[in-house]
Amino acid sequence: MAIQITPEQETWVTTAEGGELTGYNKRYLEKLAYKYWQLPEDERLIKLRKRSGRYELWLPDLLRYIDETGYGPHQDKK
């Protein structure tokens, strides 16, 4: 499934904002950001920056990561 990125989605989000937009837990995104922060910048799947002690994630990369990995919140099957 290909995700279409709109211009308003091309922005930086905090882990809390990313969680609200994607349905992922804030703590999961914090751990994910920490994990990628330890890698060299050219090896990261998600662009990150750290401002005022908080991680910010590039929203288009986060959405692409979620689409490709398939982990995270799932709809209950009925």
Tell me the domain boundaries of the chain: 9-69
> Looking at residue 1, what is its pLDDT?
45
Contact 22, 63 (CB under 8 A): yes
Q: How far, in Å, CA of 23 to CA of 57, rounded?
A: 15
As given in the structure block, the two tokens for residue 65 are 């990561």
pLDDT digits (tens, 9 = 90+) for 43-71: 999 999 999 889 999 999 998 998 888 66
> Looking at residue 22, what is its pLDDT?
87
Averaged pLDDT score across all residues of the chain: 84
Helix or strand run (H / E) with residue 51:
strand 48-51
Name 24's Cβ contacts closer than 8 Å, sequence gap at least 6.
18, 66, 72, 73
